[in-house]
Amino acid sequence: MKTLLMLGGAALALAATPALAQNPDEGRAGDIQIKLLGTAVLPDGKITDINVNLPGLPATTQTKADDNVVPTLAVEYFFTDNVSLETIAGVTQHDVTATAGLPRGSELVSDALLLPATVTAKVHFDLGAAKPYLGAGAAWFIWLKDKPGAATLPLGVTDTDLSDELGAVLQAGIDMPVGDKGLGLSLDVKRYFIDTTARWRVGNTLAIETEHKLDPWVISAGLAWRF
């Protein structure tokens, strides 16, 4: 984690350096770039701590959040030819199931809908036809809804809650212009470092509370338009 954060700091430090040689016809300060992307969200969901365990779940209980593929929109503003700020828009839905301690595949959280509000600062490099970039920033994971999983209902669980959390994100990718009209192809990879606290309640009683490491990989590809 320390090494990754150091790499993120290096990426931001590069933003203060002069741009690598760039054709002025291919971009300039004040440009806006919009990307329409297909995005694979690949979370972890591993339990790191069990704080409350009234039902006496096995100490070996372990979980995993399932993967999802969703459309996303990225909007980026260029402060200089090679320094930009980007945010993304999109939501993703996941179930959390058991991988150990309970019957494998037991559903513990159902239809958890996540808004991963993300802002990154990026530095871009011009290698001719390819324009790679590095970025780092912050993300706020906001859970819009979640429901108790089917395996928790026999325990009397009536409510499930996942905590909203702030975390860090590192980013790398490449833009490849197509023609001279601002259109291009884009490939982007992000790694988030965010946890969440999961709580299951029986009526007003907190029955289970666990800490989960999410740390998803988020891989996107699609079309870009810079203007």
Q: Which residues contact 138 (CB under 8 A, 6 or more apart)?
A: 118, 119, 166, 167, 168, 169
Q: Are 22 and 56 in contact (CB under 8 A)?
A: no
Cβ count within 10 A of residue 156: 14
pLDDT at 27: 58
pLDDT digits (tens, 9 = 90+) for 166-225: 999 999 999 999 988 889 999 999 999 999 999 999 999 999 999 999 999 999 999 999
Number of domains in the chain: 1
d(CA 181, CA 84): 20
pLDDT digits (tens, 9 = 90+) for 152-180: 999 899 999 999 999 999 999 999 999 88
**Longest Cα–Cα distance in the chain:** 65
State yes or no: pLDDT of 20 exceeds 70.
Answer: no
Backbone angles phi, psi at 209, to 5 degrees: -140, 125
Range of the domain at 61: 2-226
Residue with more model confidence, 120 or 55: 120
State yes or no: pLDDT of 15 exceeds 60.
Answer: no
pLDDT at 181: 83
* Residue 94, domain CATH: 2.40.160.20
Mean pLDDT across 110-139: 95
pTM to 2 decimals? 0.84
d(CA 221, CA 227): 19
pLDDT digits (tens, 9 = 90+) for 69-124: 999 999 999 999 899 999 999 999 999 999 999 999 999 999 999 999 999 999 99
Q: Tell how many helices (H) and how many strands (E) occur in the chain.
A: 1, 14
